[in-house]
Structure 1
Amino acid sequence: MTATPTTHRAIKYPAAIRMLHWIRAVLILGLIACGWFMTGRAEDSPLAAVLYPNHKQFGVLVWLLAVVHLALRRHYRAVLPHEPKSLKPWEKWLSHIIHRLIIAMTLLTPMLGYAMSSSLPDGDGVPFFFLSRVPEILPKSETAFSVFQTLHEYSAYLLLGLIVLHVAGALKHRLEDRNGETDVLPRML
């Protein structure tokens, strides 16, 4: 009698985490694209009057979803899938670092955007959908605004770079690794 080969079947993340992952991915990539587009336009243009407030409120939403993500990971920690055993040690290390940095940057980047908008002299604040405005807690300062603007921009680029590495890693395991045991994409689908 011959043994049948075992097929690797990925344990999936809970549905709430999978759904939140893809919603956050779309929102973050949309916000980065919107940021590039709107900063290339005159701030007093009619299009900017639509883009800037929406960029701000969706940025707040990304921050809130990052907090929800952390709460869900904590809630489901006992059933979250572990990394495949066949991953090399450096791949496990890099994966952990990139995931943690992505989570940190999805918290930090919107906070820097909030700080930028909140510190802008004569700014119009940060709207959030049905709420009138997110409370502003920072003093108005052109210098602070300039610093937060630079930090927000660089943090968005860093977040984008981390996302590229995250996607590249998932695609590498999906397309290049031969054994199929390192294919992590099905866990998030």
Structure 2
Amino acid sequence: MSHDVHPTIEKYPAALRILHWVRALLILGLIAAGWTMTVLDDVVLAKFNLLYPLHKSFGVLVFLIVLAQLAIRARSRLPEPAPLPAQESLLSQAVHVAMYALLLIVPLMGYAMSSSYTDSDGVFFFGIHLPEILPKDDDRFKLFQFLHKTLAYSLLALVILHVAGALKHRYFDKDRRTNVLPRII
């Protein structure tokens, strides 16, 4: 008779579950705000007085949340991967790694963009002025702006794929063990 020294973990730690959903809401809000900022005319004062500062602050917050999540993941016992077919398992792992990478890179590109723009007042984190370590250079700004936008849309595509996968496993898979949603709720 064998004894399981490490019982199966059914859910992610509470801190990870909470941070996952907070981060998810923030990402959706940041993408909506970013899109709104790009379509608003520059004469709309709220664009520069409200949307840009909040977008920057919440972008830094997402960056910090992701760092916290990675630290918690490194120190926690996590549920075993769902018993997925090999291709789905590989896709799931690739999507998660790419999302975490972009969740760090997109805010960094936003910071680089704000830091390098000649007319920028810098990056504030809810009123705290963050140091600008990049020189002002509008050519670099254009590169960072392109990367920030392109990578943000790439992140959005991965988020959609992530949600679609979770819904597929919950509602369409015959094997109920692939329903991963209860682990994160």
| TM-score bracket, shorter-length normalisation | over 0.9
| SS of alignment partner, residue 176 of structure 2 | coil
2:57 maps to 1:57: yes
Q: Which residue of 1 aligns with 2:11?
A: 12
Task: Give RMSD over aligned pairs.
Answer: 1.3
- Structure 1 distance, partners of 2:114, 2:92, is 33
Structure 2 matches for 1:118-137, cutoff 5 A?
A: 118-131=115-128, 133-137=129-133
- Structure 1 distance, partners of 2:68, 2:43, is 35
Structure 2 matches for 1:18-33, cutoff 5 A?
A: 18-33=17-32
- AA aligned opposite 2:54: N
Q: Which residue of 2 aligns with 1:103?
A: 100
**Is residue 10–residue 187 contact of structure 1 (8 Å, CA) maintained in 2?**
no
**Is residue 9–residue 80 contact of structure 2 (8 Å, CA) maintained in 1?**
no
Q: Under a length normalisation based on structure 2, what TM-score does the superposition of the two structures give?
A: 0.93
2:82 maps to 1:84: yes
Q: Under a length normalisation based on structure 1, what TM-score does the superposition of the two structures give?
A: 0.91
Q: Could you tell me how far 1:47 is from its partner in structure 2?
A: 1.4
2:158 maps to 1:162: yes
- Structure 2 distance, partners of 1:40, 1:130, is 25
Q: Which residue of 1 aligns with 2:44?
A: 45
> Share of identical aligned residues, percent?
51
- AA aligned opposite 2:34: G
- Structure 1 distance, partners of 2:33, 2:56, is 11
Q: Which residue of 1 aligns with 2:70?
A: 70
Aligned residues: 177
| SS of alignment partner, residue 124 of structure 2 | strand
Q: Could you tell me how far 1:122 is from its partner in structure 2?
A: 2.0
